Structure 1
Amino acid sequence: MEKSDKIYEATSIHSDKESIVDLLADRPEQGSSFLAYANVVCVVAGTGTLGLPYALKMGGWIGVGILLLSLIMSVYTAILLMRCLYYNGKYRLSSYQEIGRHAFGRVGLVAVWFFHTSIVLGAPIMYLILAGTEMKSLITGADISTTVWIWICAAVVAVPFVLMKTLKEVAVMSVFGALATVILVIVAVRGSIVDMNNPAYANVHHDNVIWANLPTTVASISICFGGNVVYIHVEEAMRHPKSWNRVVAAALGTCCVLYLATAIPGYITYGNLAESPILSNLPKDAFTKVGTVVIIIHVILAAPILLTSFALEFERLTDVTVARRGKIMERVYRTLIRLAVVGICGGIACTVPYFDNFLSLLGALGNCTLIFILPILCYFKLIGWRQMKWYELIWCAIIVIIGAVSAVIGSVDAIKALKVSFETDHNK
């Protein structure tokens, strides 16, 4: 395909036709829609799949409806976000941060940068912690500490992160990451079915709605579709960016199917005894060990995708391009930057106490803000709300309210967890 970008002049989400103007642009790395689909599935589905039975335990069967509602909201805001990239009809903005700057000036730029960075760096750090911990428990015969395993996993993550420049190249790995998620779901469903006749779970009970836990349930489920941090770079690497709406709808729909396939059998079998992750409930057999291996594989494959999203932004900011630095020095600078990023993530994963709670706090604020609130606010600011029908405005208001409630409740829970951690450590 020629080097071209699609500038969307029709900015209404409900337009029957999109008016498109061709504009020459530099899109050097162009991948298929399938690779973009795999990228989104790999990042979004993640290890959160295994926490859904526990989410139903917290809120009851209403969680299934919340999950479906979150899917619809996430697809809608993902499309709005991409519209913001092309809002002026002349050129494509380069990042989520640029959208924030064009919409709300320096305040918008700083806010988006903070939340975006906390997720694209925070999630890989948690992935390294998870992978290192699981490796320690899986390989019991070797006298290797969790810290060493974390550094080993960081080294593995560094290889594709350093060698592969863009998300088009990293997307090849995401295909395997998406397949790993499917295998993980199969393991969870198989274990849930096997345990249906287990006497230990004969007397579990199920609730339709647990009103006291409903806000927490909404908060935990609503952030299961958090892929906005990579969407813009995924779309940028697509050969046919006009297909974005179909790609994101298919990818998030696939994630929802995986969520439902894990959540419903898991909650039916384990009910009020469901744990997070659900692997803790599953039979302690070879299949569960396979599930543990698959978790490790998945997080190691997903981490480079998020890190690449961060690196592309940082390299743009520091002007690390072939045109500016030359082919050889661009490679040198890029390699040094990315090795430093992996080193920082590995160091934090090994040394910072309570980081999981801090990340939960940033994740609740960041994910809900980036997924539900900012896309709508930026769309209103850049494109306008007057062309929307009244029911669309009501729908947008509902999404913003749910996003705000999820952010507040999730943040309160994380702060409580931090308080418990500090008190426990202080009393030792």
Structure 2
Amino acid sequence: MSNTEKIETYDAQSVHSDSESLVDLRAERPEQGSNFLAYANVVCVVAGTGTLGLPYALRLGGWIGVGILVLSLIMSVYTAIMLMKCLYYNGKYRLSSYQEIGRHAFGTPGLIAVWFFHSSIVLGAPIMYLILSGTEMKGLVNNDAINLKAWIWICAAIVAVPFVTMKTLKEVAVMSVFGALATVVLVIVAVRGSIIDLSNPMYENVHHDNVVLANLPTTVASISICFGGNVVYMHVEEAMRYPKSWNRVVAAALGTCSILYLATAIPGYITYGVEAESPILTNLPNDAFTKVGIIVIIIHVILAAPILLTSFALEFERLIDVTVARRGVFMERVYRSIVRLAVVAFCGGIACTVPYFGEFLSLLGALGNCTLIFVLPIMCYFKLIGWRHLKWYELVWCAIIVVIGLISAVIGSIDAIKALKHSFENDANK
């Protein structure tokens, strides 16, 4: 019997209860990185997904958005822990990826579903990062001799250096420390600008809502997407020296992200109310500090892009068997460099040439993020490990998470489709 057949016929629930086997699987890995680097990896990827858009999310839904943010934090930590349990469900060895979890849980359909949503995020987000960084660099330098496409390719070249030279997230994690610090600086800039504008007569009588029922589903979708980190969790945990510390690390990292979110969202909404824009930098005073914020955005997205791309590359390289054992040390590096340069070229090309890609990516991102974060971890957990050992209130909690995830995915997708339609209509009228 093959290893795959053994896994698929194994009684997962009985093995999961074998604590001795589970401890062995998650024993110390001396050659891997520290808990702090894993923590920084998660903060760098997750905190950059929507920090500056949260005052606008509160504008849409009102002050209830603060409660939704805290609820999203709790749900995200819970599903991140459940997802990691799925990696070790069989008690024999660790699964390699989210895609493998999908395959073991639901066969080929599960593999395809996870692969589609996963790829749309880990490739789509870096493409949007290239567009954002290229646009902001063009605005800062203001040199007509270098157009937007050239700036995008310059940013792609910068991203390619760590992406090609660093093999795993253990190496890339060093960059994530600086990315996490950049996010903190960005929040400080946003808070400082919001406080200064409190005395601005322009915003003296600004309106605030407690709850806007009509916009509540959109608010839920917007805030939920801010916790999208499941696409890299497996590789972050794989690069940890102490994998049994995962629960504490992910809780601390997502908790830190939430503090940054609240620090940006609350002062921004207090000051600008229904006039809050996304990103909030649009509202801030046009001074040197705001320019620093723009520079920090550029630094952050350029540092975050290699982390997401590395997650994709590791999966693809496993698929085509680019390993030292199969190719040899020298040829493994050659093949890996070719694959990763091709990935960067693909992202740069799409960023430069595809119209309405932002709206299209929003469609994939809303559907993919909410599905990967909330829905699939619980569904896979139930299939691989079972639900009968859970208390009734845990089952109710899981049901709430799945429902919120589905609503967020559907509403976010509808909004993205409307944005796509609007862009097409505007272009047709020109």
Q: Give the Å deviation of 1:424.
A: 1.0
| Partner-residue secondary structure (3-state), 1:22 | helix
Q: Give the Å deviation of 1:203.
A: 1.4
Cα distance in structure 2, aligned partners of 1:265 and 1:409: 27
| Partner-residue secondary structure (3-state), 1:197 | coil
| Match among 289, 304, 307 for residue 306 of structure 2 | 304
* Structure 1 residues 239 and 275: alpha-carbon distance in aligned structure 2, compared to 1, 3 A threshold: same
Task: Tell me if structure 1 keeps the 8 A contact 2:162–2:172.
Answer: yes
Q: Give the Å deviation of 1:284.
A: 0.2
Q: Does 1:193 align with 2:184?
A: no
* Runs of 4+, deviation exceeding 6 Å: 7-10, 24-28
Q: Please list the CA deviations of residues 23-59 of structure 1 after superposition, one character each: whole Å capped at 9, or x if unmatched.
A: 5999795110000000000000005100000000000
| Partner-residue secondary structure (3-state), 2:89 | coil
Q: Please list the CA deviations of residues 60-80 of structure 1 after superposition, one character each: whole Å capped at 9, or x if unmatched.
A: 000000000000000000000
Q: Please list the CA deviations of residues 310-332 of structure 1 after superposition, one character each: whole Å capped at 9, or x if unmatched.
A: 00000000000000000000000
Counterparts of 1:11-410 in structure 2, within 5 Å, are 11=16, 20-23=22-25, 30-141=32-143, 143-410=145-412
Cα distance in structure 2, aligned partners of 1:308 and 1:293: 24
Q: Give the Å deviation of 1:11.
A: 4.8
Q: Give the Å deviation of 1:140.
A: 1.2
How many residue pairs get aligned? The number is 419
Q: Please list the CA deviations of residues 293-316 of structure 1 after superposition, one character each: whole Å capped at 9, or x if unmatched.
A: 000000000000000000000000
Hey, what does 1:4 align to over in structure 2? none
Q: Give the Å deviation of 1:142.
A: 5.3
Cα distance in structure 2, aligned partners of 1:39 and 1:18: 29
| Partner-residue secondary structure (3-state), 2:32 | coil
TM-score by length of 2: 0.95
Q: Please list the CA deviations of residues 106-127 of structure 1 after superposition, one character each: whole Å capped at 9, or x if unmatched.
A: 0000000000000000000000
| Partner-residue secondary structure (3-state), 1:144 | coil
Residue type of the alignment partner of 1:409: I
* Structure 1 residues 324 and 288: alpha-carbon distance in aligned structure 2, compared to 1, 3 A threshold: same
Q: Give the Å deviation of 1:275.
A: 0.3
Cα distance in structure 2, aligned partners of 1:247 and 1:178: 15
Q: Give the Å deviation of 1:141.
A: 3.9
Q: Give the Å deviation of 1:180.
A: 0.2
* Structure 1 residues 394 and 43: alpha-carbon distance in aligned structure 2, compared to 1, 3 A threshold: same
Cα distance in structure 2, aligned partners of 1:193 and 1:8: 54
Hey, what does 2:8 align to over in structure 1? none
Q: Give the Å deviation of 1:253.
A: 0.1
Task: Tell me if structure 2 keeps the 8 A contact 1:9–1:20.
Answer: no
Q: Please list the CA deviations of residues 222-261 of structure 1 after superposition, one character each: whole Å capped at 9, or x if unmatched.
A: 1110000000000000001000000000000000000000
Residue type of the alignment partner of 1:208: N
* Structure 1 residues 8 and 292: alpha-carbon distance in aligned structure 2, compared to 1, 3 A threshold: farther
Residue type of the alignment partner of 1:261: A
Residue type of the alignment partner of 1:161: F
Task: Tell me if structure 1 keeps the 8 A contact 2:28–2:241.
Answer: no
Hey, what does 1:417 align to over in structure 2? 419
Residue identity (%): 83
Structure 1's unaligned 5+ residue stretches are 1-6
